[in-house]
Structure 1
Amino acid sequence: MIMATIIPTTISMIISYVMTTNSLKERAVVENMNLLYQGRLNLESYLEDMNRNSLTVYSDPDFFRSLYYSHENINASGRQSATLQSINKAISGARQVYLYVDGKREATLFAQDIARKTSDVALYPEIPDLKSHTVSIQPPHPLHTYGFQLAYPYEADQQVFTMYRVIERVPSSERLGILAIDLNMNFLSRISGQLFQPEHEQLYIVNEDGHVMYSGNEATLGRQIQEDWYSKIKESGHKEGHFEYNNKIYLYNNIKTSVSDWTMIKEIPSSYILSSAEKAAFVNISLLGVSLILIIIAMIWISVYITAPIRQLVGLMSQVKSGRMTVDISSDRKDEIGTLHRRFGSMMDTINNLILQEYKLKLANRTNQLRALQAQVNPHFMNNALQTIGTLALEHGMKRIYSLISALARMMRYSMYNTDKPVTLSTELDHIHDYVELQKERFENQFDFRYDVDESTLQVLIPKMLVQPLIENFFKHGMNPLTQDNYIALKSRRLSASIVQITVEDNGNGMQDEKFQALQEHLLLMEEMDLEQLQVHSEIEAEDSSGIGLINIMTRLRLYYRGKSKFNIENNQPHGFRVVLTINVEGETDEGINRG
């Protein structure tokens, strides 16, 4: 019993621990991916806003014209200073804005709320080569003065990242100058600081060249990442995702804007995520130890006080098993063992009563079987009687009467036997011909039966009595006995190798609009049911009605062809009714036989 307790409990704890750790990891991945997504949106919004503000150099025609004049032109110089100041104020976190005009070899720096200018100077040498790029963002670097003298110096460890925009002579690509915007790291710290917990996790924002734009570890700012986990991200080719490597979970998301193609990477130690699961595992192990002590004490008590009455009960059960069904199973005990004795006694009483009921049920079943055999006599008798009358009519030369009686006999025989098996369309059509022959005699040829059947469809298997009720509906509801141009048409054709269409249409009274609409809604409702729901629905319909209507035909059609069928009804104009059955007979021959 101890092993039976320890083994399942240990396995349960292991499974629980594994499932809990996996669940914690999955939940951490989902939550952190959502967090990175929100951070990505904020960063993309900021970078796009910074890009739009830098494009002021193109949207301001006065500024653009000022690039063709030197600083000696007061208006041009003032326009440049005003534009740089506007850009500096518009971009949150901007420290200074630098402008260099190639043609004039002039530079302007707006810093510390003052615009400073210098002439006949080269482009500041620490500005990187932008090559063919018109916009570029330089990784974090120390803040410099672009060669200008400032009122007070910058801190030596002040880090910024710089956005460079090449100013071109539009629409050509001739370069007029360069605009440089130095931005504080504060905005990256503000946004990124909300995305990770520095004491447990690490966050990196890396540009397209692998240089660190932001990191929780300031020592890595501006450096190129060489770690193996970053290579796995680059090799994946995905813009976002996650993976586990060296007991750490890495999540990444792409920050794609018109000025950047950065990757945001979050590093989470697995131990941090699973700390709660490990605590729970320790608690479970402690509980298991306490439980084992209690189990051992309980087993000693059970072996002394419980096993004896249980053996007594087992003895009584053995007597019942040997066939003695009237043993005395009463007990005066008030505990669970006494309850077990009384329940067993109650069960034996129930079994004895069920045995008596079983004998009664067998007797009732024999009676029902006899009645069922008697009920089968009448149809057979009617069929044999019709054959006898037909023979007598033939002997007296009444061939028409013989023909009609023979048709009626065939119809009865067709409907009596194997109603649950499929038949070929050819067999169903023979039955329809007999039915129509009788109706012609009844209505004295007041209607025309039109028959257009493709021979390739004659061997298609269909549920029995599927088409005949559609013909019968014409005589019940559609035919107008006062007119002579009544007709009903039966057509079949192949739409493709596996699709067969059967159409029954007439020019009778049709269906009233209200009834037609109600029927259409009912059929649409049934179309939305799955086959199990349709089966239940058909059983309810069968209890409510004994006839074979359009709804019944649609139900049988869908159930037989497992939903691969269509049932459409139409009111012909100006009058008449049409039913179209479209069925899929691919592989139908074997399946149909098996269903039968």
Structure 2
Amino acid sequence: MILAAVIPTLISMMISYVMTTGSMKERAVTENQNLLYQGSLNLENDLEELDRSSLIVYSDPEFFRSLTYSQEDIRASGRQSATLQTIAQSVNDIMQVYLYIPSRQESSLYAQGVVKKGTGYPLYKDTPDLENQSLQFQTPHPIHTYGFQLSHSYQPEHKVFTLYRSIERVPSTEQLGILAIDVDLTFFSRISSQLYQPDHEQLYIMNEDGMVLYSGNESVIGSRAEQSWAGRVLDSGGGQGHFEMNKHIYLYEPIAAPSGSWTIVKEIPSSYLLQSADKAALINILLLAFSLILIIGASIWVSVYVTKPIRGLVGLMSQVRSGNMTVDVQSDRKDEIGILHRRFSSMMDTINNLILREYKLKLANSNNQLRALQAQVNPHFMNNALQTIGTLALEHNMKRIYSLISALARMMRYSMYNTDKPVTLATELKHVEDYIELQKERFENQFHILYDVKDSTRELLIPKMLIQPLVENFFKHGMDPLSDQNVIGIRSGWHSGSALEITVENNGRSMPEPALMKLQDKLKEIEALDIEQLEVFEEGTSDSEGGIGLLNTLTRLKLFYRGEAGFRVDNVAEGGFRVTMRMYTGGERIESIDRG
């Protein structure tokens, strides 16, 4: 027994440790690669936004013309100051914006909320050569003031990176000015801090030359990455990947910067990834030693103290199996055998209680069926009562009241009987007309309804209660009660010769965009379900939505037409809401409705 327990356990521990470490590395690589990919996308979006902010100089004609005038021109100077302020406020992390006009040696600096101007200033010495490349990023460096005196001095260790753009007279390459945008390193840290654990991991953002633009280790920011792994990353050709070196795992992901290709690198110690596996291995060894002691003692104890009571318990189980459900399962033992006796006794009590409960459930079900039969009397009673009231109104020459009551009675009969059977489009439209008749009395002349129904579609079978709930939604959500120009339109026709298309449209209130997008996404999810999944979905939603919700309408359409149906909701450009349904009735297979 000892050998049978120890040898498989040791082999299992070794295999488990090897497989666990390998699996943990693979999972960690996959998760971190996805995390770096998302981080690179976010950084690319921020860099594109920063690049767009520098392109404001080309989208502002007045600013472009002001470059040909001296700062002494108040209008030109004001236009330049306003543009610099706009650029500085376009991205939260921009510290200052510098503009230099070489032809007149004029400088402008927007910093600390004010614009400084000067004439006769030479171009700042650290400005890169923009002759062959109109856009460049300068690696992180201590922030400077471009020769201006500011009201508040910057901290010497405060670092920024700078975007330089040459302002050229398009389409020529004549340089009109140089724009420099100093960006705080929080531009990187805001996203990068979410990509690694500073206590255990390290993160680097490098350009194509191996210069570190950002890192959790501030001492290497602005310098070249000299570590051995950096050369391997730069030699990878700008793709994504990972490798293991010096007991560390390195993952890298390219970043498409406006002026070149950058790379984000994450360094993870292997010991940090495998610390849980090592801890699990140690725990397994301790458990194995403890198990050996227990196995030796249990082997002796089981053979002497356990076998006989277990045989007695097996005998009691045999009696239950033969049908004796009242066996006496009592034991005074305090050990596991006693627990088995008590659990078996509890199980017998539970079985007996379940038998009694099942009997009560059957009785309750019979009572509920009786109540359901009694409840069916109520709709018939209401229908007969309405007919009686209508007859009385007609006897007193109140034709309008009789007309309204008759419409209401027809609606009740339509909704009460054969709800699962299809009806013709003409029958459904007659039900809509009865509903509109009642609403006209309520809202008088506040709305109009327009029908454009092709005669060839009137006898086609459609699911019952398909159009009226869509019209009802207009009175619930879309109608303007202060207007008398509310219009509802119902159209039917053919699409591609074989697809019945029904449109319900109004000019009322449109659905808010967030709610519309959420509804469209949910409709897409339903369209992707197969028939069996749709049946489950319908059973789970019809009760809560009363069978008239938009989601339920799509479900009913796809079930009725066995998936050959499309459903589209959108806002009308001039105001209002539109629902378009397309059903396959024969001929060529229809395609899903374009969602625009």
- So what's the TM-score if we normalise by structure 2? 0.50
2:238–2:261 CA contact under 8 A, matched in 1: no
Could you give the per-residue CA deviations for residues 485-540 of structure 1, whole angstroms, max 9, x where no partner exists? xxxxxxxxxxxxxxxxxxxxxxxxxxxxxxxxxxxxxxxxxxxxxxxxxxxxxxxx
- SS in structure 1 opposite 2:182? strand
What amino acid maps onto 1:172 in structure 2? S
Could you give the per-residue CA deviations for residues 442-469 of structure 1, whole angstroms, max 9, x where no partner exists? xxxxxxxxxxxxxxxxxxxxxxxxxxxx
- SS in structure 2 opposite 1:108? strand
Corresponding residue number in structure 1 for 2:27: 27
Structure-to-structure mapping, 1:474-485, within 5 angstroms: none
What amino acid maps onto 1:286 in structure 2? L
Could you give the per-residue CA deviations for residues 272-304 of structure 1, whole angstroms, max 9, x where no partner exists? 111111111111001100111122334556898
- SS in structure 2 opposite 1:274? helix
Larger radius of gyration: 1
Query: For residues 206 and 80 of structure 1, what CA distance do their matches in structure 2 show?
Result: 34
2:210–2:234 CA contact under 8 A, matched in 1: no
Corresponding residue number in structure 2 for 1:273: 273
Could you give the per-residue CA deviations for residues 370-400 of structure 1, whole angstroms, max 9, x where no partner exists? xxxxxxxxxxxxxxxxxxxxxxxxxxxxxxx
Query: For residues 22 and 337 of structure 1, what CA distance do their matches in structure 2 show?
Result: 49
How far residue 128 of structure 1 moved from its aligned partner, in angstroms, is: 2.7
- Asked if 1:263 corresponds to 2:263, the answer is yes
What amino acid maps onto 2:285 in structure 1? I
1:206–1:212 CA contact under 8 A, matched in 2: yes
How far residue 44 of structure 1 moved from its aligned partner, in angstroms, is: 1.0
Query: For residues 211 and 280 of structure 1, what CA distance do their matches in structure 2 show?
Result: 41
2:204–2:264 CA contact under 8 A, matched in 1: yes
Structure-to-structure mapping, 1:548-567, within 5 angstroms: none
Structure-to-structure mapping, 1:420-499, within 5 angstroms: none
Corresponding residue number in structure 2 for 1:227: 227
- SS in structure 2 opposite 1:196? coil
How far residue 263 of structure 1 moved from its aligned partner, in angstroms, is: 0.7
Count of paired positions:
316
Query: For residues 305 and 153 of structure 1, what CA distance do their matches in structure 2 show?
Result: 86
Moved over 3 A (4+): 1-5, 298-306, 333-339
1:205–1:215 CA contact under 8 A, matched in 2: yes
How far residue 30 of structure 1 moved from its aligned partner, in angstroms, is: 1.8
Corresponding residue number in structure 2 for 1:207: 207
Could you give the per-residue CA deviations for residues 407-434 of structure 1, whole angstroms, max 9, x where no partner exists? xxxxxxxxxxxxxxxxxxxxxxxxxxxx
1:255–1:264 CA contact under 8 A, matched in 2: yes
1:205–1:213 CA contact under 8 A, matched in 2: yes
1:101–1:176 CA contact under 8 A, matched in 2: yes
Gap change, CA 1:121 and 1:245, over 3 Å in 2:
same
Corresponding residue number in structure 2 for 1:159: 159
Gap change, CA 1:105 and 1:336, over 3 Å in 2:
same
- SS in structure 2 opposite 1:132? coil
Query: For residues 338 and 217 of structure 1, what CA distance do their matches in structure 2 show?
Result: 69
Corresponding residue number in structure 2 for 1:352: none
- SS in structure 1 opposite 2:47? helix
Corresponding residue number in structure 2 for 1:186: 186
Query: For residues 267 and 99 of structure 2, what CA distance do their matches in structure 1 show?
Result: 39
- SS in structure 1 opposite 2:34? helix
Could you give the per-residue CA deviations for residues 332-355 of structure 1, whole angstroms, max 9, x where no partner exists? x7757999xxxxxxxxxxxxxxxx
Could you give the per-residue CA deviations for residues 95-142 of structure 1, whole angstroms, max 9, x where no partner exists? 110011111111111111111111122210022334521111111100
Structure-to-structure mapping, 1:51-90, within 5 angstroms: 51-90=51-90
Query: For residues 165 and 174 of structure 1, what CA distance do their matches in structure 2 show?
Result: 13
- Asked if 1:101 corresponds to 2:101, the answer is yes
1:167–1:175 CA contact under 8 A, matched in 2: yes
What amino acid maps onto 2:284 in structure 1? N
Query: For residues 299 and 334 of structure 1, what CA distance do their matches in structure 2 show?
Result: 16
Corresponding residue number in structure 2 for 1:372: none
Corresponding residue number in structure 2 for 1:391: none
What amino acid maps onto 1:207 in structure 2? N
- Asked if 1:168 corresponds to 2:168, the answer is yes
Query: For residues 114 and 243 of structure 1, what CA distance do their matches in structure 2 show?
Result: 49
1:108–1:116 CA contact under 8 A, matched in 2: yes
Could you give the per-residue CA deviations for residues 127-162 of structure 1, whole angstroms, max 9, x where no partner exists? 233452111111110000000111121111111110
- SS in structure 2 opposite 1:256? strand
2:98–2:180 CA contact under 8 A, matched in 1: yes
1:247–1:270 CA contact under 8 A, matched in 2: yes
Corresponding residue number in structure 2 for 1:579: none
1:229–1:245 CA contact under 8 A, matched in 2: yes
- Asked if 1:45 corresponds to 2:45, the answer is yes
Query: For residues 243 and 67 of structure 2, what CA distance do their matches in structure 1 show?
Result: 51
Query: For residues 67 and 89 of structure 1, what CA distance do their matches in structure 2 show?
Result: 21
How far residue 9 of structure 1 moved from its aligned partner, in angstroms, is: 1.3
Query: For residues 309 and 105 of structure 2, what CA distance do their matches in structure 1 show?
Result: 108
Please list every run of 5 or more consecutive structure 1 residues that lacks an aligned counterpart in the other structure: 310-332, 340-596
What amino acid maps onto 1:142 in structure 2? P
2:253–2:264 CA contact under 8 A, matched in 1: yes
Query: For residues 292 and 103 of structure 2, what CA distance do their matches in structure 1 show?
Result: 89
What amino acid maps onto 2:226 in structure 1? Q
How far residue 242 of structure 1 moved from its aligned partner, in angstroms, is: 1.5
1:137–1:163 CA contact under 8 A, matched in 2: yes
How far residue 238 of structure 1 moved from its aligned partner, in angstroms, is: 4.8
Corresponding residue number in structure 2 for 1:243: 243
Could you give the per-residue CA deviations for residues 571-594 of structure 1, whole angstroms, max 9, x where no partner exists? xxxxxxxxxxxxxxxxxxxxxxxx
Corresponding residue number in structure 1 for 2:411: none
Corresponding residue number in structure 2 for 1:140: 140
- SS in structure 2 opposite 1:236? coil
Query: For residues 230 and 334 of structure 1, what CA distance do their matches in structure 2 show?
Result: 70
Query: For residues 83 and 305 of structure 1, what CA distance do their matches in structure 2 show?
Result: 92
1:139–1:222 CA contact under 8 A, matched in 2: yes
- So what's the TM-score if we normalise by structure 1? 0.50
Query: For residues 16 and 215 of structure 1, what CA distance do their matches in structure 2 show?
Result: 36
What amino acid maps onto 1:165 in structure 2? R
Query: For residues 192 and 313 of structure 2, what CA distance do their matches in structure 1 show?
Result: 69
Structure-to-structure mapping, 1:299-314, within 5 angstroms: 299=299
2:130–2:165 CA contact under 8 A, matched in 1: no
- SS in structure 1 opposite 2:235? helix
- SS in structure 1 opposite 2:79? helix
How far residue 305 of structure 1 moved from its aligned partner, in angstroms, is: 9.6
How far residue 237 of structure 1 moved from its aligned partner, in angstroms, is: 2.3
Corresponding residue number in structure 1 for 2:415: none
Q: Is 69-78 or 3-12 further displaced after alignment? A: 3-12
Query: For residues 65 and 76 of structure 2, what CA distance do their matches in structure 1 show?
Result: 8
Query: For residues 231 and 133 of structure 2, what CA distance do their matches in structure 1 show?
Result: 25
1:47–1:259 CA contact under 8 A, matched in 2: no
Query: For residues 36 and 43 of structure 2, what CA distance do their matches in structure 1 show?
Result: 10
Gap change, CA 1:238 and 1:164, over 3 Å in 2:
closer
Could you give the per-residue CA deviations for residues 54-102 of structure 1, whole angstroms, max 9, x where no partner exists? 1011111111111112212222211111111111111221111001111
